[in-house]
A = this chain, B = another copy of it.
Amino acid sequence: MKAVILAAGRGKRLKCSRPKPLTLLLSRTLIDRVIDNLKKAGIDEIIVVYSDDRVKAELEGKAELVFNDDIGKGGGYSLLKGASAVGDEDFLLLMSDHIFDSESLVKLLSSKPNITTLCIDRNLKGHDSEDATRVLIDREGNVTSIGKELKEYNAIDTGIFYCTPDVTNITRDFAGKFSVTDVMGKLALKKKLKTFDITGDFWCDVDTREKLKEAEDILLNSLIKPTDGIISKHINRKISIKISKFLVNTHLTPNMISFISFLFGLFSAALFAMGQSIIAGIVAQISSILDGCDGEIARLKGLVSPSGAIFDAILDRYADMLIILGIIASNPQSLWLVGGLAMLGSYSISYTSSKAELRGITFTRLYEVLMNRDTRLFLIFLGGITGFLYAILVILALFTNLVAFLRIFYFSKRYE
């Protein structure tokens, strides 16, 4: 299936020297994010209607580029250009300045629309503004009327459309300046426009500085993973997201950040071994926080890679073990046994998680994630600053092995 992205608008309100589609949102251009979402939804044939040569230069090789030779004719004319390039078949229509979640596209496509369909949002409070396109829908989900000036309305246009050749044909009837909304309004009059509800999904029409900021915040908050442990969710992520917001503008790759986090771990181990347990504990916690950044940067930059995640995971294990070895080194005679058991239990938590992942299982219940890395390093941090290293190692040894034991028991009872 093909998709058309309208990217010929100027976006004066963003007060930015770049063309609107190239506006940076957390180091990636808006249009790059739209293209990425299309690819995630399995759409590879992408047509971009542009007017500014900088857009062309940026997207060469990534999409089929169609030039809008007269932007004075409005967005409807861009649609005509794009739809003509598609030919006589259904296509997706997207705006280069509307950010959304690829899941919405997947849902729209799997609903298999048979007439032109507009994705709408019922949450008027959240999305209404002077620039929003309002929609009035009847009980069957058909569009009755659409426009920015509507007084009576019950939904907002999200800028995501599934188009049949009806759209292409109607667009040809227009002359002079006309908008996409004009085209859709005419389809609605002919009862040829229905809706698909994506209320609750993330989307944002990035047409002002405020909206850009809002989109940024939502994207950053989406970095909190449902599998995050308690410490991670309530402490580490809050800081790591702030760091990532800064790092995303640098050239650091996720793997480099994994390595930097590892170096902090090594440094903490050395400090523990030298008896500098307060600083060592703090450095361990910093390493733990930085450990969130590699994945965050990978997701923000669209560089998520399974091998990258594995690289990170193995380095994490080395940091974990070396930090405990560092603690043992501060007093081997009394710490070797609890330390050794803490090493065994800690590694077993990660090992059992990895084995579970092989079977498509993710441990998420509280007692299952209780001793994940975020908690373990936080305990070590507490041990470091309070000096109760022996006690912390005992707690680590007991609880990590207890959780691992529960997991072993789980697998012993599971038959496939």
Contacts and interface: CB of A to CB of B under 8 A. Distances in A.
Interface of A: 255, 305-308, 310-311, 313-315, 317-318, 321-322, 325, 328-329, 332-333, 336-337, 339-341, 343-344, 347-348, 350-352, 354-359, 404, 407-408, 411-412, 414-416
A179 B246 CA distance: 81
B322 A328 contact: no
Residue of A255, A306, A310, A314 with highest tally of chain B CB at under 10 A: A310
A341 B325 contact: yes
Nearest to A404: B314
A314 B317 CA distance: 16
A317 B351 CA distance: 9
A181 to B, nearest CB: 41
15 contacts: A305-B416, A306-B416, A310-B411, A311-B408, A314-B355, A314-B408, A317-B344, A317-B347, A332-B337, A333-B333, A336-B340, A339-B340, A351-B354, A354-B355, A357-B358
Contacts of A329: 337
A343 B318 CA distance: 11
Contacts of A354: 351, 354-355, 358
A336 B343 contact: no
Nearest to A343: B343
A218 B321 CA distance: 44
Given A328-B336, A354-B354, A414 B307 contact: yes
A343 B322 CA distance: 11
A318 B138 CA distance: 64
Nearest to A412: B311
A340 B317 contact: no
A80 to B, nearest CB: 40
Contact of A348 (B310, B317, B344, B357): B317
A318 B400 CA distance: 13
Contact of A412 (B255, B318, B357): B255
Q: Which 8 residue pairs of A and B lie closest in terms of their CB atoms, listed nearest first?
A: A307-B414, A336-B336, A311-B411, A321-B344, A354-B354, A310-B355, A332-B336, A347-B347
A343 to B, nearest CB: 6
A325 B344 contact: yes
A351 B350 contact: yes
A346 B315 CA distance: 15
Contacts of A305: 415-416
Nearest to A415: B305
Contacts of A310: 355-356, 358-359, 411
Contacts of A412: 255, 307, 311
Contact of A314 (B315, B407, B414): B407
Contacts of A341: 325
A280 to B, nearest CB: 17
Contacts of A416: 305-307
A371 B317 CA distance: 18
A307 B415 CA distance: 6
Contacts of A358: 306, 310, 354, 357-358
A307 B359 contact: yes
Contacts of A348: 314, 317-318
A109 to B, nearest CB: 25
A182 B317 CA distance: 67
Nearest to A344: B321
Contacts of A356: 310
A327 to B, nearest CB: 11
A351 B348 CA distance: 9
Contact of A340 (B306, B314, B328, B355): B328
Nearest to A347: B347
B355 A313 contact: yes
A352 B408 contact: no
